[in-house]
Amino acid sequence: MMLEDKIYKDYVDALKGKNRPKAEFLSFIRAELKNSAIELKKDKLDDNEVLNALKKQKKRLEESYEMMQKSQRADVLDSLKVELKILEEYLPRQLSDSELTSLVEQAIKDTGASSIKDMGRVMKEILAKAGGSADSKKVSEIVKTKLATR
């Protein structure tokens, strides 16, 4: 089953089960996916395109969460937590720090990187291997740390 179809099925199930927060959020996600399809001039998105749209949405939610923490809006924070939890059901499992570190070390070895100037090559290698399982911000921090010590 394609990811977009799974989201639609879960949306219908949430409506039937009267899970209002999930139904509303999935309705919003479906609208985002439809907008992405229109932008790409397609009828239906493939799984990679759906994942890219979901990642963008996750990034927006995380940024909103950080801003709301600063303003101490507990009501909005709870809502954002729920939305992030729902969204993460559709995203691939993220690699742990130790898995990322070993991936970074392997990429540095494979590319022959010796300084921070080689960061772009290393990042490209890691993100190609890890796909959607790695947060690029976290990978970037680990790569900087590893290359700075060389």
**Domain 97-148 belongs in CATH node 1.10.10.410:** yes
CA 64, 65, 67, 71: dihedral to nearest 10 degrees?
130
Sorting pLDDT into bands at 50, 70 and 90, what band is 82? very high
Specify the 3-state DSSP secondary structure of 81.
helix
Sorting pLDDT into bands at 50, 70 and 90, what band is 92? confident
Using DSSP, how many helices (H) and how many strands (E) does the chain show? 7, 0
Residue 51 neighbours by CB under 8 Å, 6+ apart: 3, 91, 92, 132
Cα–Cα nearest to 126, from 117, 115, 137: 137
pLDDT above 70: percentage of residues in the chain:
99
* C-alpha atoms less than 13 angstroms from C-alpha of 50 in its C-beta half-sphere: 19
pTM (two decimals): 0.74
pLDDT higher at 131 or 40: 40
Percent helix, strand, coil in the chain, to 5, is: 80, 0, 20
Q: For residues 119 and 144, give the distance between their C-alpha atoms in angstroms, rounded to a whole number.
A: 7
* DSSP annotation of 55: H
Question: Would the pLDDT of 33 be above 90?
Answer: yes
- Mean pLDDT score, 62-91: 89
CATH superfamily for 3-88 is: Uncharacterised protein YqeY/AIM41, N-terminal domain (1.10.1510.10)
CA 7, 12, 13, 19: dihedral to nearest 10 degrees?
100
Sorting pLDDT into bands at 50, 70 and 90, what band is 22? very high
Domain ranges of the chain: 3-88, 97-148
- Mean pLDDT score, 10-30: 96
- What are 125-142's pLDDT values in tens digits? 888 888 778 888 888 899
